[in-house]
């Protein structure tokens, strides 16, 4: 039996969940792995956590330095979140040769090129499974299961809040605000949901996945990101007539010309396995040369699923460091230096909805503008007018087209005198 | 860079795929893992494989002993299949302290309690990811990602041939024989498809998964196994009216009273993520205490996906043995000794179809027999007669009932004078 001493930074939702999991399953983990996880220190600014979790004297502390500076601690588990305090603490821990397990997606997405070289320099391991997809073993899959394979695309539903909201909108036909309110009432959305609904959280996560899958340092600030705030029930309804379901997708693609990483609402075929991923669940579809299309599905957030991933990382690292292993620096090197393509260079099919005058000639005018921009129409549905007046929704689906061309054409069309009010385009992702 | 010498036994579909993968991606693997996979020897009885795969002199051999006896080989990759030759070769290799990677589900399911102790005794590693679910990283997930979690249920679509046939039957309404013929024509079914369609292949696989998930030695001969040979289009059609899809499921459950492992056709809700797993694809839904419900989906067979899993196992083992690691015997111990429940003790909802006389009183007679056996009816559909005569299909869905009771009631009902010809019951799995 090999004992590993861990120190936990932060006893919020995930930290408390981790504490409880280890208290409950310590023996199970010993039996399964031969590793005995000993919580040497656990810190939180809130002193009430000690009694709440029934933590022994000498283990609980309100000082994170007590954790990071403890010479007997092998692994520091950072569950504070954010990039202010956590960044300094993680760096301090690495400098003191402590191995790191973290669920902090913002920290990794933003500061990976600061942290990864420090890992190698200090010969320190990093476990970050919990940073993407909660308890879904996606990072293990990319790094280990697909080590012999060439990954060329990832399509993920990486944010539970937005997936819950969109599922609610799809199933009940309600609008974004009502769905968001329900999500907040049920605890699936924060009081300030901005980071989730804007796509920012998914951006952090796809940045991490793309960096690990393509072994290149993806620049998060160049990841095109569009949220779900402006999704309307009518677009969900109309797109269903084409056999589509609307999801917020995080996509990373490797092409000959470079990589393209982006987050935006997208329509997918209702027969796709991703279309069955509903409510707060997450899923990641991975495309690789040999394995082909594979998908990983589960709970993308929450104390229990996330703790499960954290423990797996602790055991992984403990098995290495308690077995006289030799450090393998390859795991944290970005040996590729791939060009990051601009979103305007992306291609997709497109769903358009124009609010257009119900008059002969308008379709020909619109399709003329599309054609001029190399966009050809695959099908058109002219809807009955929903409101008073002569303007009706004109819904169309295109063949594959270039994002830059679509934006140009869309701009020109919405400026036609026969088109007014709210118009929309949504990308269609064929997977 | 660390070089690992491997020997491949068998250059059939998977062996050839593995050879090609390593030839193509050797440098990629080096970059990603620091491991350089060197194929020291590759054997096949067919000497034409040498030219077919363009294998160097000194590497190809028709003698498997050349592989097993080579002192410089670290890892023997057994891709012969079956339990005759492979069993002896694997044991011989283990005795010579060679680490083993295998895709051989029959060997592991049948002889795990012979092989596992030998591994520990000889301090030898085993990689068997490719034995279940082709390239889907399910064994890695059970053993590593869920090391801190308590797994209590697995529901898998583990056989591509039967899933292809059932998908064809569902989508096109054709009968079993026609669907099987198409599967054979398209290469998704063997000329002799018995092992697949009888559920035998899925039985091998769920035996392995259950043993690893519950850390207990599951007796394959006590796994209830029923194939898809007698599935009729009308049951697929009728069950769709209840919102179900028919799949061949392999199920392993842990209860307080023991474990239950079984393979049989089953109805699942069409909204389940498993319902979207079509054609030759496989998927495994895993239920654990902390992660909750998670699913792993992909190609369950074929040279390329399977090779991808084999390479991942080779790299895993190479990273250990080339890093002075200490052997961890826990990975191959069945520390639980769980009672294996009889299938008659299982509970499910049930779909019944009786070919019954279209006469007043018959429903009350049938429901009387069901009631006497503690089976209560949830809903009934009386169909129009499909053939000439007064007999019509009476289709019903029950609440949860005990398998033993269902068999007893079914027997009694089909012996009623008002019931004749072909009758059927199918288990409904709520997941």
Q: What is the DSSP-derived secondary structure letter of residue B270? A: T
Superfamily the domain A2-133+303-332 falls into = NAD(P)-binding Rossmann-like Domain (3.40.50.720)
Tokens of B239: 């069950």
Separation between Cα atoms, residue A261 and residue A239, nearest integer Å? 24
Residue A370 dihedral angles phi and psi, to the nearest 5°: -60, -45
Residue B92 has what pLDDT? 98
What integer best gives the mean pLDDT of chain A?
96
pTM over 0.95: yes
The verdict on a CB contact (< 8 Å) between A31 and B215 is yes
Separation between Cα atoms, residue A31 and residue B332, nearest integer Å? 11
Full strand arrangement of the beta sheet holding A60-61: A60-61, A35-43, A2-9, A75-78, A99-102, A126-127
Q: Residue B292 is nearest to which of A148, A298, A312, comparing CB atoms?
A: A298
Q: Enumerate the residues of chain B whose CB falls inside 8 A of the CB of residue A215.
A: 31-32
Tokens of A78: 């950072």
Which residue numbers of B are catalytic? Answer: 205
Measure the CA dihedral B218/B221/B224/B229, to 10°: 130
pLDDT at A122 over 90: yes
Check if the beta carbon of residue A217 is closer than 8 Å to that of residue A113: yes
* H-only helix segments in B173-199: 176-185, 194-197
Residues with Cβ < 8 Å from A51, sequence gap 6 or more?
none
Separation between Cα atoms, residue A395 and residue A412, nearest integer Å? 17
Q: Enumerate the residues of chain A whose CB falls inside 8 A of the CB of residue B307.
A: 148, 290
Residue A402 has what pLDDT? 98
Separation between Cα atoms, residue A346 and residue A406, nearest integer Å? 10
Q: What is the pLDDT of residues A296-321, one digit of tens each?
A: 999 999 999 999 999 999 999 999 99
Residue B400 dihedral angles phi and psi, to the nearest 5°: -60, 135
Long-range contacts of B82-86 (CB under 8 A, 24+ apart): B82/B106, B82/B107, B83/B107, B83/B110, B83/B111, B86/B9
Topology (CATH level 3) of domain B346-428: Alpha-Beta Plaits (3.30.70)
pLDDT at A387 over 80: no
Residue A383 has what pLDDT? 78
Q: How many CB atoms lie within 10 A of CB B256?
A: 4
Instruction: Check CB contact of B297 with chain A, cutoff 8 Å.
Output: yes
Q: How many CB atoms lie within 10 A of CB B57?
A: 6
Query: Burial level of B247, CB count in 10 A (0-12/13-18/19+)?
Result: buried
Residue A208 has what pLDDT? 98
Query: Tens place of pLDDT for every residue, chain B, 431 residues?
Result: 899 999 999 999 999 999 999 999 999 999 999 999 999 999 999 999 999 999 999 999 999 999 999 999 999 999 999 999 999 999 999 999 999 999 999 999 999 999 999 999 999 999 999 999 999 999 999 999 999 999 999 999 999 999 999 999 999 999 999 999 999 999 999 999 999 999 999 999 999 999 999 999 999 999 999 999 999 999 999 999 999 999 999 999 999 999 999 999 999 999 999 999 999 999 999 999 999 999 999 999 999 999 999 999 999 999 999 987 889 888 888 999 999 999 999 999 999 999 999 888 899 999 999 999 999 999 999 877 665 568 999 999 999 999 999 999 999 999 999 999 899 999 999 97
Beta bridge partners of B355: B393
Shortest Cα–Cα distance, B337 to chain A (Å): 13
Q: Residue A135 is nearest to which of B290, B322, B324, comparing CB atoms?
A: B290
Per-residue pLDDT band for A390 (boundaries 50, 70, 90) equals confident
Q: What is the pLDDT of residues A194-234, one digit of tens each?
A: 999 999 999 999 999 999 999 999 999 999 999 999 999 99
Instruction: Check CB contact of B319 with chain A, cutoff 8 Å.
Output: yes
Residue B389 has what pLDDT? 66
CATH of domain A138-298: 3.30.360.10
Q: Using alpha carbons, select from A15, A302, A13 the residue that is nearest to residue B291.
A: A302
Tokens of A179: 């769905």
CATH of domain B2-134+303-332: 3.40.50.720
Check if the beta carbon of residue A221 is closer than 8 Å to that of residue A204: no
Q: What is the pLDDT of residues A105-116, one digit of tens each?
A: 999 999 999 999
> How many residues make up chain A in this entry?
431
Residue A328 has what pLDDT? 87
Can you tell me the mean pLDDT for A66-77? 98
Q: Enumerate the residues of chain B whose CB falls inside 8 A of the CB of residue A29.
A: 147-148
Percent of chain A with pLDDT over 90: 93
Residue A386 has what pLDDT? 60
CA distances from A61 to A8, A23, A37, A41, B101 (A): 10, 18, 19, 7, 46
Q: Enumerate the residues of chain B whose CB falls inside 8 A of the CB of residue A298.
A: 291-295
Question: Helix, strand, or coil here: B304?
Answer: helix
Tokens of A204: 């952090």
Domain locations in chain B as residue ranges: 2-134+303-332, 138-299, 346-428
H or E stretch at B288:
strand B281-288
In chain B, what is the straight-line distance between the N-terminal and C-terminal CA atoms, in Å? 46
Instruction: Check CB contact of B360 with chain A, cutoff 8 Å.
Output: no
The CATH number of B138-299 is which of 3.90.800.10, 3.40.640.10, 3.30.360.10, 3.50.50.60?
3.30.360.10
CA distances from B130 to B49, B78, B300 (A): 22, 11, 9
């Amino acid at each position: 039996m090999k004992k590993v001493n861990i120190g936990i930074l932060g006893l919020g939702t995930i930290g408390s969940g981790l504490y409880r999991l280890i208290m409950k399953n310590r023996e199970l983990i010993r039996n399964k792995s031969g590793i005995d996880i000993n919580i040497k220190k656990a810190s939180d600014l809130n002193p009430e956590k000690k009694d709440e979790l029934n933590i022994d004297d000498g283990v609980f502390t309100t000082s994170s330095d007590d954790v990071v500076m403890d010479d007997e601690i092998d692994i520091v588990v950072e569950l504070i979140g954010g990039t202010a305090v956590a960044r300094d603490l993680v760096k301090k821990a690495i400098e003191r040769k402590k191995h790191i397990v973290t669920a902090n997606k913002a920290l990794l997405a933003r500061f990976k090129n600061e942290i990864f070289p420090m890992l190698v320099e200090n010969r320190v391991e990093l476990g970050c499974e919990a940073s993407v997809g909660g308890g879904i073993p996606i990072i293990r899959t990319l790094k280990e299961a697909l080590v012999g394979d060439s990954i060329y695309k990832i399509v993920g539903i990486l944010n539970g809040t937005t997936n819950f909201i969109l599922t609610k909108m799809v199933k009940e036909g309600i609008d974004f605000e009502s769905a968001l309110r329900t999500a907040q009432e049920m605890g699936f959305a924060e009081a300030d949901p901005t980071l989730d609904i804007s796509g920012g959280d998914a951006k952090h996560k796809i940045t991490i996945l793309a960096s690990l899958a393509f072994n290149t340092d993806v620049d998060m600030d160049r990841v095109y990101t569009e949220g779900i705030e402006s999704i309307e029930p009518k677009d969900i309804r109309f797109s269903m007539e084409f056999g589509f379901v609307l999801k917020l997708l995080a996509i990373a693609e490797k092409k000959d010309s470079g990589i393209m990483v982006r987050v935006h609402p997208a329509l997918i075929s209702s027969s796709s396995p991703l279309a069955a991923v509903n409510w707060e669940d997450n899923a990641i579809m991975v495309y690789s040369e040999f394995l082909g299309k594979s998908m990983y599905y589960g709970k993308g957030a929450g104390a229990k699923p996330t703790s499960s991933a954290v423990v797996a990382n602790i055991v992984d690292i403990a098995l290495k460091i308690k077995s006289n292993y030799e450090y393998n620096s390859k795991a944290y090197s970005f040996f590729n230096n791939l060009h990051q393509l601009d979103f305007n260079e992306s291609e997709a099919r497109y769903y358009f909805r124009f609010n257009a005058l119900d008059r002969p000639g308008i379709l020909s005018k619109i399709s003329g503008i599309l054609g001029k921009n190399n966009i050809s129409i695959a099908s058109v549905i002219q809807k009955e007018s929903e409101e008073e007046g002569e303007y009706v929704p004109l819904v169309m689906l295109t063949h594959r087209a270039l994002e830059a061309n679509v934006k140009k054409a869309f701009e020109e069309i919405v400026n036609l005198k026969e088109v007014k009010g709210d118009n929309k385009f949504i990308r269609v992702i064929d997977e």
